Amino acid sequence: MLNAENWVVATNERIASFIADAEDSLSHMGAEAEVFIEQTRTFLTGGKRFRAICTLVGFASAGAGSEGSPNEKNAIDVAVGLEFFHAAALVHDDIMDRSDTRRGKPAAHRAFDAMHRRSGFAGDADRFGVSSALLFGDLLLAFSDELITAGIAGQGPVGRRARAEFNNMRRDVTVGQYLDIVEEVAWPVVARDNALERAIRVVTYKSAKYSIEAPLRIGAALAGADEATLAGLSKFGLPLGIAFQLRDDLLGVFGNEKQTGKPVGDDLREGKRTALIAIAEARLGDATTALAGLGDDHLSPSRVSEIQMTLRNVGAEEAVERMIAEHLELAHTALAAVPVSDEVRDALANIAHIVTERSA
């Protein structure tokens, strides 16, 4: 029986044991190094373990992953490795986006610069915060690689296939993140009729692939899935991942702080060139001054409300909702053809429901 709750428990237990081991391994480096362990616990505590569940459902898609399976420990290590990778991506993303908060708590670079101020250190606290957070994100990536390596150890060809899938995911996310920061500054020279296509390209490579498609494929590859199963999971996972990120983009503009853990309108202050903004600008034509203030760190709450109203009035929010529904339909259509058991198919359908209907 597939049991997501048991998987979440196993994932959390492995995270806790890995962090405890890491703490021991860093203890000889002095008390200053302990802050990395504290931050690791902060970033890896809580959450729905969504990517871990996707990895383990993928693992089960090839007939593996039943309770007591001899390879289940390997799958858990790989799933936890993806959770660490996700945490690293968040740390680096917050630096690039100049975000002050993450899940209602200070972003890593803000936590480090606050430590600098409390400690009475010399020099620039902001620079210290960013430098420390960059290294912290790199350390999380190293932890992720350790876990992936442990998960594929001794697994032969299927382990190498899972590693190749993981490598592809890392490449896509890294370049996708670069495409995202390019869009934030390239918009003055990008044709409006090209902006939506470019926004979807960012969605695809920065988020969609690594949120759903890649974890499913990595887990399935570890279990020895055939090409038909891997291809079917991609046809399901990619449109679902796009729907997932489009929903996230709507929450980034219209969600409240309790939902998102960030101030209302934070994506507007960061100047995110999302599908929502691309659609609005195309419909506004020469009246794009209605969106004036995008990318302004000091955008006032009243101006945020005005931009939100503009996005609604031109139908951009409704258009993105239609795009979410269309991609969800593509995913469900693909799901019917994935060569997996009914139990796995039900688990995949449940993932589709969770990621597109979520409010945070």
How many Cβ atoms are within 10 Å of 147's Cβ, its own excluded? 23
- Residues 2-28 have pLDDT tens digits of 777 888 899 999 999 999 999 999 989
User: Residue 121: its pLDDT value, please?
Assistant: 95
3-state secondary structure of 140: helix
Whole-angstrom distance, CA of residue 99 vs CA of residue 139: 20
User: Residue 230: its pLDDT value, please?
Assistant: 97
Q: For all residues of the chain together, what is the average pLDDT?
A: 90
Which residue pairs, CB below 8 angstroms and at least 24 apart, start in 308-312? 308/253, 308/254, 308/265, 310/280, 310/284, 311/253, 311/276, 311/277, 311/280
Q: Which of 323, 267, 331 is nearest to 299 (CA)?
A: 267
3-state secondary structure of 135: helix
Judge whether residue 226 has pLDDT over 90: yes
User: Residue 67: its pLDDT value, please?
Assistant: 45
- Residues 315-337 have pLDDT tens digits of 999 999 999 999 999 999 999 99
The amino acid present at 183, given as its one-letter code, is E
**Segment 169-182 mean pLDDT:** 95
Give the rounded percent of residues in the chain with a pLDDT score beyond 70: 96
Give the pTM.
0.92
For 71, which DSSP code?
Answer: T
Task: Assign domain 4-357 to its CATH superfamily.
Answer: Farnesyl Diphosphate Synthase (1.10.600.10)
Pair 281, 192: CB distance under 8 Å? yes
Ranges of each domain in the chain:
4-357
